[in-house]
Structure 1
Amino acid sequence: MTDEVVDAELVEEERLPAIPEDRTPAVPLADEDADAWLSDQAKEDVKAGIPEETSKAYEGDMDRFAAWCATVGRRPLPAAPQTVTEYLSYLKRTPRPRTGRPYGPKTMDRIIASIRSSHRAARFQPPDTMGARKVVAGYREALALAKDPAAQPRKASPADRKVLRLALGKLDRTTLAGKRDAALMLLGHALASRGSELVPLNWPGSFTELPDGGLKVRVYRKKRKLWQDIKVVPDPEPDLCAVRAARALVAALADEGHHQGALFLRMDRWGYLAPPMQRKGKPIGDPDGRMTIDAASDIVQRSIERTGLPGRWRSHSSRRGFVKSARQAGVDIVQIGRHGGWDDKSKALIGYVDEEDSEGENNPLAQIGRKAAEQQTKGQA
């Protein structure tokens, strides 16, 4: 995450030790190939293809790398392979002030990618990172053998129908905020959406009424960069019906004079819609009042934590919960993937399904046992 920082102090340049002459700079790309250049227009096109969150994370990673290089008298650009290896070794052993723990292996993988990407952007050949990656590999194994939770990727806990039923039971759905929070969680589950796909929804622009009483929702699958039309059918359990929840929210917003535009709006503690926000005297936030992805995660976390259920609850919990609900209902993995906008070969989806199938009736050993019992019964007959 971009708010993870390394405890480093900048040292004045004149006090830094000289760089030894045998540290040969990396070869500029332009010296390798006379055609290795891009127009300003092409650079902007490349930049447009990089998610904003990724760009911010990479920028922060490189700033902290440069700060560390300043303290030890090494060159951040172009960096020697040994410099990158040394830096990853340092990160492995250095607790961060915010958490009291070093970075995890996954974040360290991203930091290596950030350094390589920054070299390309500066038109330098990226340094060899084999040594740095070996540091991370050894670190990951040591954490795993120690059964340290940091060895495992931090995943959102799945909010399936059972979890949603409990969480919604704690909401006051007579209020505008309660209607919004219920619609956010239920639509997130029904659409199997990420927070970044749910927050941009507009009414009525993203929705089409269907003859059977359902809704067709047009969702932009951000990671795959494609639009998808998803049919959301009425649920036989009214309290878990995403269609009912969405319509209840739309009606409540209309009572407040909001008839179109962002569906999920920020509210203040008194229930006022889209209150103006400022930081250091300057307006911040979406001018239309649309909530942020972090705000959506906060709603999911707050709503589910009221139940006392343990877990890491984020906006992504609804997407994972859809997979769990669908597998419990016996839905085929291909149908799950296509409804949720996963690629047919998605490793993430397979990982979610494997986790769900390891429990209950879908456990392979449980299925083998049932089959063996059936055969034994037939043999005795």
Structure 2
Amino acid sequence: MNPGHFPTQLESNPLELLDAVPLTEAESEYVEAARAANTLRGYRSDWNEFTSWCTQRNRAPLPAAASTITGYLSDLAKAGAKVGTMSRRLSALKFVHQLNNLTDPTANARVVAVWEGIRRTHGAPPDQAAPLMPPELFDVLAACPTTKTWKAKGRLPEPDLAGARDKALLLVGFVGALRRSELAALLIEHIDEHPNGLVLALPRSKTNRHGTAAELVVLPRGGNPERCPVTALQAWLHLAGISAGPVFQGVTKANKPSGRALNPESINVLVQNAVVRAGIDPLPYSAHSLRAGFITYAHLRGASDRAIAHQSRHRSLATLSGYIRVNNAWTDNAATTLGL
């Protein structure tokens, strides 16, 4: 492989270059599962950006000297790159070097020192999606269309599948505190009935990449059928005739399920469109607003951090507190009583 070239094998077998012996079919399947597709695409983009920077400065990208990486990071920081972006770039550099059996240059003492300085100087709270929670959530749910009408003569109105899907997705995402990737990957086979509602057994997640044990998420039955995640999910599956495979699918113009799972990016769009239907500015909202909404709303209703983490599956309570600190800042604060 030529220095500075991101291996083409990464698209299908990201670790194939670690061993001269070709991977077996079974090994290839496991290797493909080692990195999410979005992660691999991000690594490729970051590597291409880094090699372009190296070419302009006549520096070798592979193996990269510590001074090359610190110079690269310094230029990114001065250009206003976010700390999260630079962190991802470092992960890409580490990955490509490991892929070629080379020493990880990001662990070099010079790189570590410069990186720590950048984080202290340029670090800022990460941008967070606004939490979507009651009462706004109730308005968004009420705005989901229920009836599909047709311009063609003779075709009677039908239940609006996209509206039923959106309502189920909003409620399941909120009550389940699910990430958009988890909503997109949810299968019928992951759902089990329980006397109190439904249980989702998620085989993989952001914090359980290797699927060592399924993470359990509960969907309790709600007292109001219009706001019950179980009722909404079962209604969508019944109307769409889905009994196996992806739970949340696209809906065709003919008002039929596509049979294909939604991708995570499209779930962002669906959430924003649902917010727009309720007459709310969509700018601060995304699919992550459902998870953030659950955490924030549960906290406001008195749930403990540990109880919230039980459903959200956060391993760090410090990370969990990041969702609720903004709302806490407004609670019992004298600045809100100045009467200006």
Instruction: Report the TM-score when normalising by structure 1.
Output: 0.68
* Residue among 72, 88, 98 paired with 1:120: 98
Paired position in structure 2 for 1:360? 331
Show structure 2 runs of 5+ residues with no match: 1-17, 148-159, 336-340
- 8 Å CA contact 1:159, 1:317 repeated in 2: yes
- Mapped contact 1:197–1:220 kept (Cα < 8 A): no
**Alpha carbons 2:240, 2:256 under 8 Å: kept:** no
Does 2:163 align with 1:192?
no
1:178 aligns with 2:151: no
- Size of the aligned set, in residue pairs, is 297
Match of 2:6 in 1: none
Matched with 2:246 is: 262
Letter in structure 1 aligned against 2:137:
L
Residue of structure 2 equivalent to 1:169: 142
SS at match of 1:155: coil
| CA drift at 1:334 | 0.8
- C-alpha contact (below 8 Å) 2:180/2:267 kept by paired residues: yes
The TM-score with structure 2 as length reference comes to 0.76
1:282-321 → structure 2 map (5 Å cutoff): 288-306=259-277, 307-309=279-281, 311-321=283-293
Equivalent position of 1:251 in the other structure: 238
- Residue 86 of structure 1 contacts residue 132 of structure 1 at CA under 8 Å; is this kept in 2? no
Alpha-carbon offset, residue 324 of structure 1: 1.2
**Displacement of 1:303 after TM fit?**
1.1
**Equivalent residue for 1:71, pick from 56, 73, 81:** 56
Against the structure 1 CA distance between its residues 141 and 340, is the aligned structure 2 distance closer, same or farther, given a 3 Å change threshold?
A: closer
User: Which residue of 99, 108, 119 corresponds with 2:86?
Assistant: 108
CA distance in 2: counterparts of 1:58 and 1:138, whole angstroms: 24
Question: Does the 8 A contact of 2:273 with 2:282 survive in 1?
Answer: no
- The aligned residue for residue 127 of structure 2 is 154
* Counterpart check, 1:218 vs 2:201: yes
Question: What letter matches 1:121 in structure 2?
Answer: L
Contact persistence 1:164–1:240 (CA under 8 A): no
Residue deviations 1:290-314, cap 9 Å, x none? Answer: 1111111111122113432465322
Q: Secondary structure at the match of 2:171?
A: helix
Q: Shift in Å at residue 327 of structure 1?
A: 0.9
Change (3 A) 1:62 1:309: same
1:3-22 matches, cutoff 5 A? none
- Closer, same or farther: CA 38–185 of 1 in aligned 2, 3 Å: farther
Contact 1:108/1:136, CA 8 A, preserved across alignment: no
Is the CA contact 2:305–2:317 (under 8 Å) kept in the aligned structure 1?
A: no
Distance in 1 (CA, whole Å) between partners of 2:293 and 2:203 is: 20
* Aligned residue identity for 2:240: L
Deviation at 1:181, TM superposition (A): 0.4
Distance in 1 separating the partners of 2:250 and 2:46: 31
1:326 corresponds to which letter in structure 2? Answer: A
For 1:46 and 1:202, the matched residues in 2 are separated by 22
- Give the Cα separation in 2 of the matches to 1:211 and 1:74: 63
1:212-268 CA distance string (max 9 Å, x none)? 5x22332335123231333322212332211121121122112xxx44332211124
Instruction: Give the unaligned 5+ runs of structure 1.
Output: 1-35, 95-101, 145-150, 275-287, 367-381
Secondary structure at the residue paired with 1:262?
coil
Aligned with residue 300 of structure 2, among 324, 328, 331 = 328
Question: Greater CA radius of gyration, 1 or 2?
Answer: 1
Q: Distance in 2 between matches of 1:334 and 1:56?
A: 35
- Whether the 8 Å contact between 2:97 and 2:103 is mirrored in structure 1 is yes
Structure 1 residue ranges, 4+ long, deviating more than 4 angstroms after superposition: 36-47, 128-144
